[in-house]
Amino acid sequence: MLLTSAIEFCEKSQVLRQNLDSISTVADIGEYDLDSPSTQLIISRVLGVTADGIPLVGDMAESFPRYLPVDSGIPSSFYVDRTDSQFVLRLLPTPDDVYTLVTTVALRPAMTATQLEDDLYNRWIEPVVSGAIYRAMLLPDQPFTNYARASQVQMETARHITNSRIEGNYGHVRGSMRVRSRPFV
């Protein structure tokens, strides 16, 4: 239950983020496999890609041509596809030279994980544990079965996940409280 809770938390909050090892492109090759950083973690989502420090625009598969065009140059957009349980990064235009790609991904524990990331215990303990507790309360015919309380804890868990996602996106920084007016054009 703890593992299932951690997986759900990571997928919904996307707080476990990491830059994968950089990839050096090869001229005229527009597809690259993305490998998870460990056997304990799975890539949940690709959050961003840069080519030589320039951010690429994420696109939907429908926007990309079925067959990659003959145009080549520095990649300006990407999409991610899953082929045989493998994330495949597809670039457009096809690289014409060697570029360094840095891919930022959100990770989640694998169902076969035997351990969880330290941050899930040290920083995000409340949503992970409360998610496991509400799941345990839903087990039938147990002394701790309590469907009504499980529903309440599930709602609390959802609030924790939402707050964690916001915190994961913005971090622990103090922003400006000033309001700037924008001119009408």
pLDDT, mean of residues 136-143 = 94
The CB-based long-range contact list for 18-22 (8 Å cut-off, 24+ gap) reads 18/104, 18/105, 18/107, 19/102, 19/103, 19/104, 19/105, 20/102, 20/103, 20/104, 20/105, 22/100, 22/101, 22/102
Instruction: Count the residues in the chain.
Output: 185
* pLDDT tens-digit map of 9-49: 999 999 999 999 999 999 989 899 999 999 999 999 999 99
pLDDT, mean of residues 83-98 = 88
Domain boundaries in the chain?
A: 17-107, 118-169
Comparing C-alpha atoms, which of 87, 32, 84, 90 is closest to residue 61?
A: 90
pLDDT, mean of residues 128-136 = 95
**pLDDT for the residue numbered 183:** 74
Q: Are 109 and 3 contacting, i.e. CB atoms less than 8 angstroms apart?
A: yes
State what percent of residues in the chain have pLDDT above 90: 65
Comparing C-alpha atoms, which of 171, 164, 166 is closest to residue 120?
A: 164
At 54, the pLDDT band (50, 70, 90 cuts) reads: very high
Q: Are 101 and 23 contacting, i.e. CB atoms less than 8 angstroms apart?
A: yes
Ranges 6-20, 49-63, 162-176: which has the least confidence: 162-176
Q: How far apart are the first and last CA of the chain?
A: 54
Q: Are 32 and 107 contacting, i.e. CB atoms less than 8 angstroms apart?
A: no
**pLDDT for the residue numbered 176:** 61
Ranges 7-11, 127-131, 179-183: which has the least confidence: 179-183
pLDDT, mean of residues 115-127 = 91
Q: Which pTM was predicted? A: 0.80
Distance separating alpha carbons of residues 34 and 90, to the nearest angstrom: 10
